A and B are shown apart, each in its own frame.
Chain A
């Protein structure tokens, strides 16, 4: 454990590894002698595809650029580098990809460091055991978990808290790469390890996990968070940005159901009585946060393959068709069903969805405006099927039907739709949904997150 200090300076380089940041901001941050450098690596926000497929959210090139600058900045200065939710979703292939990039940078730039990899993949059999033992519960507005759902999930990860990061740093790691982690956990770990109380440490994590989302203007850039006994100070490193009391308070609303209560592994961060005060025209001090220790639970996230997707994009400028779009699309659906059944793919084997832009493409059934006035409509025709071949076949026949189906008063006898591309059929490949979004009670914050160390050179 490091000596207790009267403050802990944490430099977050960006919102997500691979989103980029100006080099000058990193340099300004390094001149302030941070105790730790880090970045969050991911989010559930871009959808379950990344967890399900193992593909990284950001390109290798973009992640390597960011990681190289972090390693070159941190390793020679002996500043530990901490990254949570590596690669986008923080499952094993994501972690391994980022680890591989770190090894490459070390080789190319002659760096030597001790690296910890913290894993977060969870075995389906173990998850079923927890379910049987009654240790798993659903989060608000999430369906109950069943054994069948666990069985169908292609990948399940646990979201680690601060403890595995602290252990890795105590184990001498100069670079900590973690699979799925609470966005704030890596930062909270660094500050608590330096003797800071949990409340400002976790709050700092909330501010730092999104780079300069706390600043105005917002952007992907470097933010310094300084944690002291009873408060946190945040300041963007780019002189073009400032933190104001309102910009910082506003960030508390970000991607969270409650603006004030943040559930974390092992406790609840309560920001109800936070005060936001400017300490300069660019830095803000936040105080008054509270931490309430609670029984430890770990969030589980799982992805399930829902099938293979094929789409085509087209549009109509025909007023007669637009005036009867719903009945026309029903005719299309019926005709596709008949023709696809003819080649052996009956309607229960696929989903056919019309996204009608100009009508309700953005809000779907929740769209309150029923009388629309668009002079043109854009339609994304989507087919999802458990069989990739069936998805492509049904989409192909839909592409034939959509321009040809007849409707009352039709004048555009040569074709109902404008297709902007040839080929017009787009095979999107496997598609996933979140199947598991639950918490499991555990006594041990480490057991689900094994750590290994390697000497990288």
Chain B
């Protein structure tokens, strides 16, 4: 097992419009990318459970051209609305870092 933080080269989040946050995980080599994808650990359900949203509202897309995985989730509070904590959605990636991937 390895933690995603030790496998990824980039793990970041950002708004995709004011109502969604998109989280990107990128890898250094195709070998690592393939292993992570094949593990099947990362999917809509994982994003749903990490962020407390419905899996049907998650858009998950592996993107081999950039050796990247992308998950887009609805915001609980839209950018800048009362109670929002992150207008740019730039610090919502951390729960992914500790996800364990069988290698």
B-binding residues in A (CB < 8 A):
44-49, 139-142, 246, 249-250, 252-260, 271, 274-276, 306, 351, 353, 355, 361-366, 368, 384, 431-434, 437
**Chain A's nearest CB lies how many Å from the CB of B76?**
6
Identify 14 new A-B residue pairs, CB closer than 8 A, beyond the known A258-B59, A274-B65, A433-B78.
A45-B79, A140-B19, A141-B74, A252-B66, A253-B68, A256-B16, A258-B72, A259-B70, A351-B83, A363-B86, A363-B91, A384-B82, A433-B18, A433-B82
* 29 A–B pairs (Cβ distance < 8 Å), ordered by A: A44-B15, A47-B18, A139-B17, A140-B59, A141-B20, A141-B74, A246-B66, A249-B66, A250-B10, A252-B63, A252-B66, A253-B24, A254-B14, A255-B15, A257-B20, A259-B70, A306-B82, A351-B83, A353-B83, A362-B91, A363-B94, A364-B85, A365-B76, A368-B50, A368-B95, A433-B18, A433-B78, A433-B79, A434-B80
How many chain B residues touch the partner (CB < 8 A)? 42
Among candidates A250, A306, A361, A431, residue contacting B66 with C-beta atoms closer than 8 Å: A250
- Could you tell me the distance between the alpha carbons of A274 and B63 in the complex, rounded to whole angstroms? 11
Pairwise interchain contact B85-A361, C-beta atoms closer than 8 A? yes
Pairwise interchain contact A257-B18, C-beta atoms closer than 8 A? no
Among candidates A49, A249, A257, A260, residue contacting B16 with C-beta atoms closer than 8 Å: A257
**Chain A's nearest CB lies how many Å from the CB of B33?**
11
Pairwise interchain contact A437-B19, C-beta atoms closer than 8 A? yes
Q: A363-B91, A437-B19 are in contact. Are A255 and B14 (CB under 8 A)?
A: yes
- Could you tell me the distance between the alpha carbons of A5 and B21 in the complex, rounded to whole angstroms? 40
Q: Which residue of A lies closest to B51 (CB)?
A: A366
Pairwise interchain contact B22-A257, C-beta atoms closer than 8 A? yes
Chain A residues lying within 8 Å of B17, measured Cβ to Cβ, are 44, 139, 257, 437
> Is B92's CB within 8 Å of the partner chain A?
yes
Within 36-89 of B, Cβ neighbours of A (below 8 Å) are at 50-52, 57, 59, 61, 63, 65-68, 70, 72, 74-83, 85-88
- Could you tell me the distance between the alpha carbons of A44 and B15 in the complex, rounded to whole angstroms? 9
Among candidates B10, B65, B74, B94, residue contacting A249 with C-beta atoms closer than 8 Å: B65
Chain B residues lying within 8 Å of A253, measured Cβ to Cβ, are 22, 24, 26, 63, 66, 68, 70
Chain A residues lying within 8 Å of B26, measured Cβ to Cβ, are 250, 253
Interface centre among B17, B65, B82, B85 (most CB of A within 10 A): B65
**Chain B's nearest CB lies how many Å from the CB of A288?**
9
